[in-house]
Amino acid sequence: MKKSVPFSSIMMLGSAMLFVSCGKPEGAGTSTTIAPAAKTILIRMTTPVPPGDDLARICQEGMDKFNTRVNGIYKMQMFPGGQLASLPESLDAIRTGAVEGGVIPLAAFSGTAPEFGLAELPFLYNNGEANAYAVTRFKDAYSKVLREKADQVSLGCIYTGTLNLLSARKPLRTLEDLKGLIVGCDTPSSAALIAALKGSGIVVDFSEDYSNLQKGVINAKTSALQYMLIAKLYEVGKYCTVFHGLGSLYSININADVYDAMPQDARNILNEEMSALAQKLSRYYVTLFYSLVDDLEAKGVEFYYLPAAERDRWKHMAYPRTLAALKKYGDIGASIKRIADEANTRYVYMGLEKQP
């Protein structure tokens, strides 16, 4: 069966059984409901992902579970594709109450709070499994910063994929292969990672990736596998190096005033269902990675899984800056590092296609 290809990792732009629940198991609270209300309060949720994208679709399914349990008092509804607010405006729109909430990539708003980018620092996670395990435990730490800086809280954090390298000219197997290589990047953080690896990372418009690779303007591109399929980059880039260099985090946010005004029982149900949703989506993206490998191999892409010893060489070049950034931001940095370390202990990097 043909799988739909998600958009969500553009903006960071395995086994589902590998996860341990950090709250109640999925669906555990479904027996608790609230008496019906005469009037329904709409909670509009903005997101940059387009209509029909897997992230938007699965989010609405999880929100419908909340809607059912609160018996018409509230209705959470996704408005994908930036219908209510563009990505750059979304954090502020939730802060002011122009929209009640959203599902957004926090690192995109590091200008508002540098702490938002800490969960996507280079080599913070061994692999997607570790990334997913960690981010579903970041909700409380990020809620504190979100309240202080943007008048909102996180109801759950979601993993959407890791960043890897697609090369047009040759396989990238060693640090030496990256020396002087011109690599297109979506964000300053990914460009800084490539620079640390002695490549030449330049921030480019992702909509021009295909032509840039085709014309040789760039020799390689940092990319999630989802985007390689969406943009048909497999037609101009045939070598993918998997090294899980950068992670990802989307957050399910809600305006703090809306959240605080909820009756406690409704708030409890909201936290249960959104936590379960975050875990479900994170498991989904772990599994999706391996499905996309199969899809891209069928398109002629050659995958190279960086051996652990070679990845350690790459990590050695960039990880000291990651440690310095985490230390700089005190308690939240320490919390993120502690959870990431726990995740990495559970899911070691093996340089293999799939974890055993």
For 28-50, the pLDDT digits (tens) are 455 567 777 678 999 999 999 98
User: Order of strands, edge to edge, in the sheet holding 250-255?
Assistant: 74-79, 41-46, 101-105, 250-255, 152-158
pLDDT value for 42: 98
The CA-based angle 73-77-78, given to 5 degrees, is 160
Please determine, for residue 350, whether its predicted confidence score (pLDDT) is greater than 90. no
Taking the C-alpha atoms of residue 162 and residue 48, their distance in angstroms, rounded to an integer, is 19
Mean pLDDT of 21-26: 42
Mean pLDDT of 118-142: 96
Strand ranges inside 289-355, DSSP E: 302-305
What are the structure tokens assigned to 278, written together?
């975050």
Taking the C-alpha atoms of residue 272 and residue 211, their distance in angstroms, rounded to an integer, is 45
For 287-326, the pLDDT digits (tens) are 999 999 999 999 999 999 999 999 999 999 999 999 999 9
Report the candidate in 224, 248, 242 with the shortest Cα–Cα distance to residue 130: 248
Q: Which DSSP category does 119 fall into?
A: G
Q: What mean pLDDT, rounded, does the chain reach?
A: 90
Q: Which DSSP category does 2 fall into?
A: P
H or E element at residue 210: helix 209-215
Please determine, for residue 119, whether its predicted confidence score (pLDDT) is greater than 90. yes
Asked if 172 and 181 touch (Cβ cutoff 8 Å), the reply is yes
Taking the C-alpha atoms of residue 98 and residue 143, their distance in angstroms, rounded to an integer, is 19
pLDDT value for 37: 66
Percent of the chain with pLDDT over 70: 88
Please determine, for residue 198, whether its predicted confidence score (pLDDT) is greater than 50. yes
Report phi then psi at 165, rounded to 5. -120, 130
Taking the C-alpha atoms of residue 26 and residue 94, their distance in angstroms, rounded to an integer, is 27
What are the structure tokens assigned to 51, written together?
């209509």
pLDDT value for 18: 31
Mean pLDDT of 198-227: 93
Asked if 162 and 243 touch (Cβ cutoff 8 Å), the reply is no
17 confidence band (pLDDT: 50, 70, 90): very low
| String of DSSP letters for 221-261 | EEE-HHHHHHTTGGGT--EEEEEEEE---EEEEEEHHHHHH
Lowest mean pLDDT among 51-65, 178-192, 286-300, 316-330: 178-192
Global pTM exceeds 0.85: yes
Report phi then psi at 42, rounded to 5. -85, 130
Report phi then psi at 33, rounded to 5. -135, 175
Please determine, for residue 109, whether its predicted confidence score (pLDDT) is greater than 70. yes
If DSSP states are collapsed to H, E and C, what string results for 25-77?
A: CCCCCCCCCCCCCCCCEEEEEECCCCCCCHHHHHHHHHHHHHHHHCCCCEEEE
Percent of the chain with pLDDT over 90: 82
Neighbouring-strand partners of residue 203:
185
101 confidence band (pLDDT: 50, 70, 90): very high
Quick one: 317 exposed, middle or buried, by C-beta within 10 A (0-12, 13-18, 19+)? middle
**Residue linked to tokens 């957004």:** 104
For 159-171, the pLDDT digits (tens) are 999 999 999 999 9
